[in-house]
Structure 1
Amino acid sequence: MAITLRDWGYIVADDDEATRAIRRPREPRAAAGQPAYPVPGGAGDGRSAPGDRGSAGAGGGRDKSETTIPRMRSKVYGKPRSGETPVRPLGGGSGGEDDDLREEQPGFGGRGGGRRPRRIGRLIVRILAVVVAVLLVASVVGYFWIGSRLKSVDAFTDYSGRPAATPGDDWLLVGSDSRAGLTAAQRRKLATGKAVGKRTDTMMLLHIPSSGRPTLVSLPRDSYVPIEGHGNDKLNAAYAFGGPKLLTKTVERVTGIRIDHYMEIGFGGFVGIVDAIGGVNICVKQDIKDHKAGINLKKGCQDMDGGTALGYVRTRATGAIPDYDRTQRQRQFFAAVVQKAASPGTLLNPFSSVPLALSAADSVAVDPDTGLFDLLSVGLAMRGGPVTTAVPVGSLPTINGAAVVKWDTQKALRLFEALAQDKQVPKDVLTK
């Protein structure tokens, strides 16, 4: 006697010798009136019933024409397992209860098998969303917090005859010899000396055009120019006489360009910024040994930390015109520092961008209308490399016992007119 348990896909056959349970998948439903599964020994089965072994052949073996029990499809490889009868694809049943039960089982590739991966995927998406939200909030908070730490300095004044606003952005970049914030040990290590107060060792005019490459112009500190209320004197004397306001006013008058932003940095801040970005690679044109600047450099490209870099831009031990030669190194180093600071490797790395931002905020002084975003815009504009030059020199006379630099008036006028009109500087007025 055989009983078919269709709900579970079992056929239980009972005979005199043993009870056997054979599990097999549900076959496609037959036409009405036909059994859904062939019963051993039944019509169309091709096999004898369990108790009728003799009919299978003289040797009692199985006839090769017997139908093989269908095999399950492999979930892993998606291929039928070995067997003689083709196996119907999973999910292709008639929708009976056994199909639903099979779908619930993880090993059968149904709904149960995909639930855990989907839950894990949703969890990952939620975690990423939280991380992004936290980073955005931290970035906004950090931006305003660091921006609030910027030192502000009054650098502009309105006066009769002040140049009108010009296209693009014009920055006056000032490097002073201020030792503020340096300990006695740091002064000895950096060879900065014991001078008090501060003077403008470096002055550069940076013009960022509406489009195209920016132009970085060195203004030699010994430039002999008119200073309001003090006659003609060296350009750096304007800072000594009247601070940032008088210096900015003097630069505007001699160049005809209205300054939009002012930025000043001392020795200590310069060292901190260079160290924050992990140093800068600079190619030295010749051996330089200067105990006053604390350096002993060999010719060739090399990485410089903050202390070495400070000596490199300060030394006056090279060139027929020491101050003029120094302005070349200052432009070279400023461009290299800004480009590295604005590189993705620095900005996207919190271990370098955060120290850089903090160091800049604590050591840079800017006019009240200049913020952190303006400083970042300088770096982004300089990434492609600026056009660098110095004011064309006409002569190097000695006046009142001091060596000064007189500009080539005609070439200097053409240089500054091009910048004021946001045009490319003529090549014949560019200097190395």
Structure 2
Amino acid sequence: MRRNPGPGQPGRPTERYEPPRAWSQAPPGRNAPPARPPAPGRGGKPHPPTHAPTQRPMPYREGEYAATQRPVPHHDGRRRPPPTGNPPGRRPAAPPPRRPRRKRHIGRWFLAVLLALVILLVYAVVKLDGSLTRIDALSDYEDRVGSTAGTNWLLVGSDSRAGLSDEQTNGLATGGEVGDPRTDTIILVHIPPSGRTTLVSLPRDSYVDIPGYGQDKLNAAFAFGGAPLLTQTVETATGLRIDHYGEIGFAGFASVVDALGGIDVCVPQAINDPLAGIDIQAGCQELNGPQALGFVRSRATALADIDRMNNQRLFLSALLEKATSPTTLANPFALWPMLSDTAGSLTVDKGDHIWDLARLAWALRGDTLATTVPVGGFTDTDSGNVLLWADPDAGRFFEALANGDPIPADLAGE
């Protein structure tokens, strides 16, 4: 029987068996723990260990361990979504700054444009209102007519040559100064509480009572006492209270028409009147400023004053139609000169404003009734040939207007 060689004998291992260690365990050294004694077995032969013995971590010695390395991420060229969430123990990361977007400030631009238009409109209204010439045309007097239904305007076209140059006097065929100013056109505009607006032509040769002067032609009141006496005379003769007053002279009349670029009028009959500076044929045509002035002044027709009143109403309707047309209102280069010339040529009562004129223009723009006071005939007096109002038809006519009622059909003259 063969015996196991003893220590130091040939065939016996001289080194102690060392099991494999983990990379984090300390290598053997002087501080290494003692080897585990062999377990008793047959013949005292120790059993080979089946697992690494438990080792205590050794203190770190510089140079004995490899440096701790972090895993390097693998880049394969593909884009991956950014990690979500935050590592434990860390504050939430601030969101990345957003790229500023270019917003469309449509609302702000709209408000800016609207504000500019409002300011421009206010400036225009103030400027136009300041251009009006104001007089005391509606002064109170004893036993003045009380309030009547609706709103009444007295529109006057005077034959004043004030402000006309010699060239304009010749061009408009006005004949220069002819003494005290008189009225070639007197129109009473009645705006009822409801219903059609009525334009009543008051013949200038109407034989009426002028307060303080007795019976005379209506336009003589303007020569005797100007607008205040004319207004009082009309109120006394008609029984209607005048609420607003408007007057325009020759120069202003022609400039307004020219500012509109002329107006289209259907002339009922040919007129050749050298005194009015007009020679036009019958039919629809465009009239410039001087032609329009001669058209409303001329009496060189068969019915003289009656035809002239009819021509005046035709002209006023054509003027308002052109002034309030969409073409004029939408064109500032036509609208502003027209408004400026009109405001600068008008004389109104001290209580009237530009917005009162705007309401008048709006009332005349719709369906209107154009008529004249019922005429009773003509007669010769100390004042010359005068026109008489029909009695009692004239009383019924103005009473209906005072009460806000429609004019009786037999007096409407349609």
- Whether 1:257 aligns to 2:240 is yes
Q: Take 1:308 and 1:418, find their aligned partners in 2: how far apart are those partners? A: 36
CA distance in 1, matches of 2:399, 2:327: 37
Summarize deviations over 1:149-168 as a string: whole Å, max 9, x none.
21001112322321111121
- Superposed CA deviations along residues 86-122 of structure 1, whole A, max 9, x for unmatched, are xxxxxxxxxx46xxxxxxxxxxxxx99x956xx4x43
1:376 matches 2:374: no
- Greater relative contact order structure (CA < 8 Å, 6+ sep): 2
User: For residues 148 and 389 of structure 2, what CA distance do their matches in structure 1 show?
Assistant: 23
CA distance in 2, matches of 1:203, 1:401: 19
Are residues 1:316 and 2:388 paired? no
Following superposition, the deviation at residue 188 of structure 1 comes to: 0.7
CA deviations over 1:168-209 (Å, ceiling 9, x no partner): 110011000111121111111111111244211110100011
1:225 to 187, 208, 211: 208
Shift of residue 3, structure 1, vs aligned partner: 7.5
Alignment equivalent of 1:5, drawn from 77, 101, 113: 77
Q: Secondary structure at the match of 2:286?
A: strand
Which residue does the alignment assign to 1:268? 251
Structure 2 stretches lacking a partner, 5+ long? 1-73, 83-97
CA distance in 2, matches of 1:377, 1:138: 20
Q: Supply the distance in 1 between the matched residues of 2:383 and 2:147 (Cα, whole angstroms).
A: 38
CA distance in 1, matches of 2:189, 2:318: 14
Query: Rg bigger for which structure?
Result: 2
1:170 aligns with 2:152: yes
Which residue of structure 1 lines up, in the alignment, with residue 261 of structure 2?
Answer: 278
Structure 2 residue 346 is the aligned partner of structure 1 residue 364: yes
* Equivalence for 2:53: none
Instruction: Indicate the residue corresponding to 1:32 in structure 2.
Output: none
| Unaligned residue ranges in structure 1 (runs of 5+) | 9-95, 98-110
Pick from 380, 391, 401: which aligns with 1:398? 380
> The residue matched to 2:138 in structure 1 has which SS?
coil
Partner of 2:223: 240
- Structure with bigger helix share is 1
Give CA-to-partner distance per residue, 1:123-162, whole Å, 9 cap, x none. x554443222112101112211220121001112322321
User: Equivalent residues in 2 for 1:272-351 (5 A)?
Assistant: 272-319=255-302, 321-351=303-333
- The residue number in structure 2 matching 1:133 is 115
Measure the CA separation in 1 of the matches of 2:78 and 2:149: 86
CA contact (8 A) 2:169 2:175 kept: yes
Moved over 6 A (4+): none
- Counterpart of 2:15 in structure 1 is none
In structure 1, the partner of 2:133 is 151
Give percent identity, aligned residues only. Answer: 48
Q: Which residue is equivalent to 1:354? A: 336
- What pairs up with 1:79-158 in 2 under 5 angstroms? 96=81, 119=103, 121-122=104-105, 125-158=107-140
1:4, CA displacement in angstroms? 4.5
SS in 1 for 2:392: helix
**Root mean square deviation of aligned Cα:** 2.1
Q: Please, what TM-score do these two structures have when normalized by structure 1?
A: 0.71
- The residue aligned with 1:429 is 411
Query: Structure 2-normalised TM-score?
Result: 0.74
